[in-house]
Structure formats: structure tokens, C-alpha cells
Amino acid sequence: MRFSFPLKSNGRIEIVELIGCAAQVFLATLFLWSAASKAQVPGPVNDACRSVFGQPVCRSGVPILVLAEWTLGAWLLSLRGRRSALRVTFLAITSLTILGFVAHSAGYRDPCGCFGRRTPETPRAMLFRNGLITIVITLALAAEHLRSRDRTHSPGGVS
């Protein structure tokens, strides 16, 4: 799938396709930015990881997290396997939210370095931010579902 927007017979851009593509580009940018922030200044992420898992896990865990975020961002931009990429994105943001709550309950109060943030974040603020991201993921999944449904139910579409 390309970033071109198919036109309906009346010349209007299909809004569903536009919403889905915009949401995926937003999510890809978000994950690439997060990975770049963690790669540039890994200290806060290492500290948060150590508070939850201990030193041995974090030695390899943080680089793996950065690689996973880069990979997810690139996958979302590729538009291949859209639904799978969005599902993995949902699992990733849910997992990172849970890890944030675990770190906070373990007594870690310093900034984690997510998205380059250097200020402490309350669990409520993290939940709000990640909730908004989850809403964008849900919109993208709904747009993908509608897009694929329209394609399979249209004349000449895949059945």
C-alpha cells in the first residue's frame, strides 16, 4: 500500500483511508522519536529499568527496547501488514504502560526518558498520554477494518 489516497467517483478523498494513514504516520513518528530519545540519552531508561528488573536485564534490555521501537516505527511506515503492525503497537504501548506502573510502585520517581522527557511524570499523566495513544491506535485499526471491509464488499474487490 502506498501513501496515495484513492479518490471516489465523485472526486473526494476517502476519509477512512486518510484517517488510517495519518494515524499510522503519527504512531510511527512517535515510536521513532521515542527510540531516538532513548538511544541519545539512555541513562534515565537504564535507571528505570534497573529499578524494576535489576542490572543484568537492563544491560541488554534497553538496546533491545530501542531496536524494537525503531522496528515498530519502520513497520508502521512501510504500510505492510497494517493490521498486524497496529496490533503489535497496541501490545507495545500497553506493555510499556504496565512497566511504568511497576517502576512507579517499586519506588522509582525520576523521569524515565520516554519521548526525551527529563521531568518526573505521575502515573496519572502517563496513563493519560498512553490512553491518547491507544485511542489513535484504535482509530487506525477501525479505519483499517472499514477499508478492508469496503474493499471486500465492493464490485471487483477481493472476496
Tens of pLDDT, residue by residue over 32-58, are 998 998 888 877 777 777 777 777 667
pTM higher than the cut 0.85:
no
Domain that holds residue 126: 23-152
Percentage of the chain beyond pLDDT 70 is 79
Residue 49 lies in a domain: yes
Q: Would you say residue 62 lies in a domain?
A: yes
Residue 13: inside a domain: no
Least Cα distance to 66 among 32, 89, 111, 93 occurs for: 32
* Inside any domain, residue 33: yes
Distance of alpha carbon 103 from alpha carbon 49, whole angstroms: 8
> How many structural domains are present in the chain?
1
Identify whether 11 is part of a domain.
no
Model pLDDT for residues 98-125, shown as the tens digit of each residue? 888 887 887 777 777 677 666 667 788 8
- Is the pLDDT at 28 greater than 80? The verdict is yes
